[in-house]
Amino acid sequence: MHSLSGVVVADFSRVLSGPTATMFLADLGADVIKIERPGVGDDTRAWGPPFLGEDSTYFLSTNRNKRSAELDLTDAEGIEAARELVRRADVLVENFRPGTMDRLGLGYQDARRLNPRLVYCSISGFGSGAGASRPGYDFVVQAMGGLMSVTGEPDGDPMKVGVALVDMLAGLHATIGILASLRERDQTGKGRHVEVNLLSSLISSLANQGSAFAAAGVVPQRLGNAHPSIAPYELFETADGQVAVACGTDRQFVQLCRAVDQSAIAEDPRFITNRDRVEHRTELREMLTAAFSRFSTAQLLSCLEETGVPVGPVNDLAEAFNLATALGLEPIQYVKGANGPVAQLSSPLRFDGEVPAVQELPPRLGEHTEEVLRWLGQSQAVEANR
C-alpha cells in the first residue's frame, strides 16, 4: 500500500498507543523513523514472555514497517539530529508525559518554528491541562474511565478488557486526526497540533453505555455478558458448552424460538417486543436456557445459523484465527526473518480487495541509526552513537 508514500513520520512514541498509530501510517506507505533510547529502546522490547528469539511478541505487534534510530535526547548531538528530523518530517508523534518534549526543545511551538508544515500529534493519559501530571496507563484508565464498572459479572469484581483496548482506541483516534490534518495541510500548507488522550478516547467510545449517562443520567452497571438494551443478547449454556446469541430484532427472536421448537415463547405477551424482553430478561433467560440445554453446541449452532439468527461459539484465539483463515480474511502475514518466516497480524483494511502488505519486520534496536543520521547530515551524531 503506497497511499502515504513520501510522508516521513518522526516517531518519538513508545509502548502501545503511539506505536499503534505510527504502524497504521507505516502500513499505508509512510516512512516511519522510530526514535529509541540508546541501548534500551522501546519499553516493550523487554515486555515478555512470550519472546520470539530475542524479540518480545509485544514489541512485534505494533512496530512493523518502521526504521529504528537510537538517539540520546539528553545529548546535544542527539537533540540536533532530532531537530533536523523535525525539519524534514511531515508528521511527528509523541506520547511522553505532557511537558517532556517542551523541556527537550521539541515541543509543538518549537517544532512549528522549525517546520510550519508539520502535523504534530501528542498522545497523553489525561490531557495537557489539569490531568497533565497523571501517568497514562491503559489499565488505570479502564478503571478511572468507567469501562471496568460495566465489565464483569454483576456480583463479581470490576474487570478490565483482555487487551489494552484504550491504548488501541487512542492509536486509532490519533491516526484519524493525523490523516485529516495531512489532508488539510494539502489545502492550506500549514500543519496542526493533534491532541489525543486515553481518557477521552475511552469515554467517546462508550457508545450506548456512555450515551445512557450523558442523555438520560443512567449509570450503567455490570451485566456480565448480557446487553443493557437488547434481549436475548448474551451467552447461553448448551448440553455441552456455550453459545453467544444476539437477537437484535423481533423477527430474529421469533426465528430463534421456532428453530428450537419453542414458538410459544415468542408468543408470550412478556416477550413480544424487545422492550418487553428487556423488562423480563430473567424469565426469558430461564426459559431459553431450558430449551437450549436439550441441544449440543454443534446442533444449536447448526439450526440457528440456518435461520440467520446471529449466533456463534466461544472461540479461543487459535479457533478465532482458524475461522478468519477459513473465511479468507488473511489474519496473518508471514515475513522473511533471519531465522525463518515471522508471523505478523494483518491490517484489517482492504483496498480494491487487497490487504496492505507487511514489507518489513519490526526493526532491531538501532538497526537504521547510521543511515538515518547520514540522511539528516549528522555525521558527528553518527560517531557519537557508535
Domain boundaries, the chain: 8-205+332-384, 233-318
Do the Cβ atoms of 65 and 1 come closer than 8 Å?
no
Do the Cβ atoms of 9 and 31 come closer than 8 Å?
yes
Looking at residue 337, its pLDDT comes to 86
Q: Residue 9's closest CA among 185, 154, 21?
A: 21
Looking at residue 338, its pLDDT comes to 80
Looking at residue 122, its pLDDT comes to 98
Low-confidence ranges of the chain (pLDDT < 70): 1, 379-386
Class of domain 233-318: alpha beta
Looking at residue 379, its pLDDT comes to 60
Q: How far apart are CA 291 and CA 331, in angstroms?
A: 36
Q: What is the pTM of this model?
A: 0.92
Looking at residue 380, its pLDDT comes to 52
Cis peptide before 348 (omega within 30 of 0): no
Q: Residue 96's closest CA among 142, 56, 132?
A: 132
CA distances from 233 to 17, 64, 152, 276, 307 (A): 31, 37, 15, 14, 17
Q: How far apart are CA 15 and CA 95, in angstroms?
A: 9
Looking at residue 385, its pLDDT comes to 46
Q: How far apart are CA 105 and CA 211, in angstroms?
A: 41
Give backbone dihedrals phi and psi of 233, rounded to 5 degrees, phi first: -155, 75
By the 10 Å C-beta count (0-12 exposed, 13-18 middle, 19+ buried), 272 is classed as middle
Give backbone dihedrals phi and psi of 178, rounded to 5 degrees, phi first: -65, -45
Active site residues: 167
Looking at residue 381, its pLDDT comes to 47
Looking at residue 2, its pLDDT comes to 85
Hey, which CATH number is domain 8-205+332-384, 3.40.50.10540, 3.30.420.40, 3.90.25.10, 3.60.10.10? Answer: 3.40.50.10540
